Structure 1
Amino acid sequence: MTIENKSVVIIGSGFMANQYCSALSKIGISDVELIGRSQKPLKLICKKFNFKYINQNYTDAIKLLSKKDLVIITTPIPDLIPAAKLALKYGQKNILIEKPGSLYASQL
């Protein structure tokens, strides 16, 4: 499978999600979905890069996802670990957590 055929989901719709969308687009990955609660930024990012979006809380949306080649989590820090655990629970394997995974090492 070539890199262009990889499927990616990004959880979050803020600045870093936009940066990852830009990078993925530049390397030719077009099968990208964003998950986020805020419809306005989701629409703007996805229109810019011609990606799909799910306007839903990640706790609900992850349950509905097909298996992806990569999950990128760009949520605020308090949601990083819960989102990663949920993604693992529902069969996602390759997970990239943006930012420090936690403010405290004991939580990792």
Structure 2
Amino acid sequence: MISPMTLIISAVVLGAFTYGFRVAGPLLHGRMAPSPQTQEWMTSAATVLLVALCVTSAFADGKEWSDPARPIAVAVAGLAAWFRAPFLVVVLIAAVTAAVIRLVT
């Protein structure tokens, strides 16, 4: 079992690195200019991370697999977002889809 002191030290170190990373952005903005390839890679990496988070959250619910309604609702919301529906519409479509599937099953 992890000791409380280890958790506190880990949280402080993580917070310090996060703060340092956020401060480094404005400080280095004028000194460093990423290449167009790097900018394209960073954009793609952010998209991949967001999709991975959505897929992980859709299929897993903590320690158990989620019910079938959640991944279907996420897929429908992704399809609505692909067609550039407004965010509120995407959320409502996902909620209605999940509710209908849960009602039927």
TM-score w.r.t. length of structure 1: 0.21
Greater strand percent: which structure? 1
Higher relative contact order (CA 8 A, sep 6+): 1
Choose 1 or 2 for highest CA Rg.
2
Greater helix percent: which structure? 2
